[in-house]
Amino acid sequence: MAEEIIQIKDLKVHYPIRSGFWNRITDYVRAVDGVSLSIKEGETYGLIGESGSGKSTIGKVIVGVEAATEGQILYKGKDITKSRNRKKLNYNKDVQMIFQDSMSSLNPRKRIEDIIAEPIRNFENLTTDEERKRVQELLDIVGMPSDAIYKFPHEFSGGQRQRIGVARAVATKPRLIVADEPTSALDLSVQAQVLNFMKQIQQQYNIAYLFISHDLGVVKHMSEDIAIMHRGRFVEIGKSADIYNNPQHIYTKRLLSAIPIVDVNRREEHKRMRQKVEKEFQDNRDKWYDKDGRVYPLQQISDRHFVALPKDAINSELEGEK
């Protein structure tokens, strides 16, 4: 069985809000408020939530561009919030990121050769010929022509730039890639191509992905395990098939009901189902959320399925156990 490559334990990221003449801290944005997850080697973990739920912040802490307020991140069992462990484990080489917006994440003034070679230069001492060979291999892997090396990012389409972003992320032969909405800026048909070759590369190189998206439909095709996030906390986590077939939290049900359906004959039925789910959500939100509008801690409901059950359900279960 695959080993866990990364474990996040009770991660919190709170950003201070300053105000007033003295610019004092008056409150905190609890962007991430106590989440735990683990990703196995070569597997994809899907992180789903609407805008502002805290998904990108988790990704940023993993790649080290944001700091954790509390909690631990273990890579191969070692806490990488300590810089000596990051160095010892080659963490910065092994963990890479793919961004949503390839136009702003690829330097517009650099040629593709330099963009892809940059991470290699940070970690390896290759000759110019060796480096060019590696860059051309990487372009080949993501299905781009070899003369792309002489061009600049604006000379490519969005889908092609996303491929270049993937080639760059794969350049250091990473073990884990944080993919933050990698296809949400692309047309549907191009999305499918990019997702397919991300899967191919994963199998070829045994890379694990943390796949971040607001789109449940996309994550379903990519991930073995998923977490649904809302206001900094996990609402429901488990095997993606279990959550899709048997969602338990009213928020998850609402997200699933919002996925558009293709079959025109079922549109009316789907509309009625959406209205029913929305009513359930509005009628019951006080039970499922605390006074700050946050979900309660996760409870295990079956082998790998955890749900942030309402407080009443937790209390009545405890009553039952007495």
Report phi then psi at 40, rounded to 5.
Answer: -90, 155
* Element of type H or E holding 79: strand 78-79
Q: Which is nearer to ligand ATP, 57 or 252 (CB)?
A: 57
Q: Which is nearer to ligand ATP, 6 or 144 (CB)?
A: 6
Q: Least distance to ligand ATP from the beta carbon of 258, Å?
A: 15
Q: Which is nearer to ligand ATP, 56 or 102 (CB)?
A: 56
Q: Least distance to ligand ATP from the beta carbon of 118, Å?
A: 24
List interacting residues with ligand ATP (CB under 6 A).
15, 29, 31, 49, 51-57, 214
Q: Least distance to ligand ATP from the beta carbon of 227, Å?
A: 12
Q: Which is nearer to ligand ATP, 31 or 201 (CB)?
A: 31
- Cα angle, residue 182 at apex, residues 178 and 187 outer, rounded to 5°: 170
Alpha carbon distances (Å) from 45 to 171, 237, 256:
21, 10, 18
Beta bridge partners of 19: 24
Torsion from C-alpha of 213, 218, 223, 229, nearest 10 degrees: 30
Q: Which is nearer to ligand ATP, 232 or 310 (CB)?
A: 232
DSSP state of 293: S
Q: Least distance to ligand ATP from the beta carbon of 182, Å?
A: 12
Q: Least distance to ligand ATP from the beta carbon of 59, Å?
A: 8
- Burial bucket for residue 39 (CB in 10 Å: 0-12, 13-18, 19+): buried
Q: Least distance to ligand ATP from the beta carbon of 42, Å?
A: 25
Q: Which is nearer to ligand ATP, 53 or 160 (CB)?
A: 53
* Element of type H or E holding 126: none
Q: Which is nearer to ligand ATP, 60 or 249 (CB)?
A: 60
Token pair of 65, please?
Answer: 């561009």
* Element of type H or E holding 282: helix 267-288
> Helix, strand or coil for residue 83?
helix
Q: Check if the beta carbon of residue 257 is closer than 8 Å to that of residue 78.
A: no
The sign of the torsion formed by the CA atoms of 66, 67, 72, 74 equals: positive
Q: Which residue has the tokens 């517009």?
A: 108
Q: Least distance to ligand ATP from the beta carbon of 91, Å?
A: 21
Q: Which is nearer to ligand ATP, 96 or 100 (CB)?
A: 100
Chain-centroid distance, C-alpha 56: 7
Token pair of 243, please?
Answer: 């959550």
Q: Least distance to ligand ATP from the beta carbon of 228, Å?
A: 12
Can you tell me the distance from the alpha carbon of 279 to that of 282, in angstroms, rounded to the nearest whole number?
5
